[in-house]
Structure 1
Amino acid sequence: MRSDPKVFALWENLTPLGRNEFICWVDDAKQPATRQRRIERTCEEILEGKKRPCCWAGCIHRADKAPSRWQQAVLIDKKGKSGP
């Protein structure tokens, strides 16, 4: 991202919450290849003017609102459980 000054400038202009949601979306990927695709997509979406990741329920770390029922059931509960 820093290698493209235009993307980096747009990134710097995102709100801290918007940047955090992109970071969490990328970090949520389990495989390096998926993570790399999400980084590339983040750059594309920022250039398109998007402020948050497309098609993602949102970061479970948001302090300004409670997690939705979906986030609670799918993201939080599963992360707290150990293997099958």
Structure 2
Amino acid sequence: MTDAFSHGTVHTASADMQAALQSNPETFALWQGLTPLGRNEFICWVDDAKQAKTRTRRIERTCEELLEGKGRPCCWSGCIHRTDKTPGRWQQAVLIDKKAN
């Protein structure tokens, strides 16, 4: 396993997320073992937070969920930024809501 940090298919993990994941060797190994799409979902979920407090909590939760054996964030319908697939119905609703705001 390499020490280089692996990112997602669309998103790149920010420095604060990288630091949190690399702070525990077990968490980092689990992160590196995720699929690129799995990593992408976690990064998108963290980046979607509107407040710093929420972002911090989501980074902590990412570490916890990895240790729980999860490969994608709990209660997240998926990244709306991917161009390799058509957005699902919920994702289309989110995109429409964001355009209205």
Q: Do they fold alike, i.e. is TM over 0.5?
A: yes
| Number of aligned residue pairs | 81
CA distance in 1, matches of 2:54, 2:65: 16
Specify the alignment match of 1:21 in structure 2.
41
> What letter is aligned with 1:81?
A
Q: Which blocks of at least 5 consecutive residues in structure 1 are unaligned?
A: none
> What letter is aligned with 1:78?
D
Matched, 1:36 2:56: yes
> What letter is aligned with 1:51?
G
Specify the alignment match of 2:75 in structure 1.
55
CA distance in 2, matches of 1:19, 1:26: 11
CA distance in 2, matches of 1:11, 1:2: 9
Matched, 1:72 2:68: no
Question: Match of 1:52, SS?
Answer: coil
RMSD: 1.2
Q: Which blocks of at least 5 consecutive residues in structure 2 are unaligned?
A: 1-20
User: TM-score, normalized by length of structure 2?
Assistant: 0.74
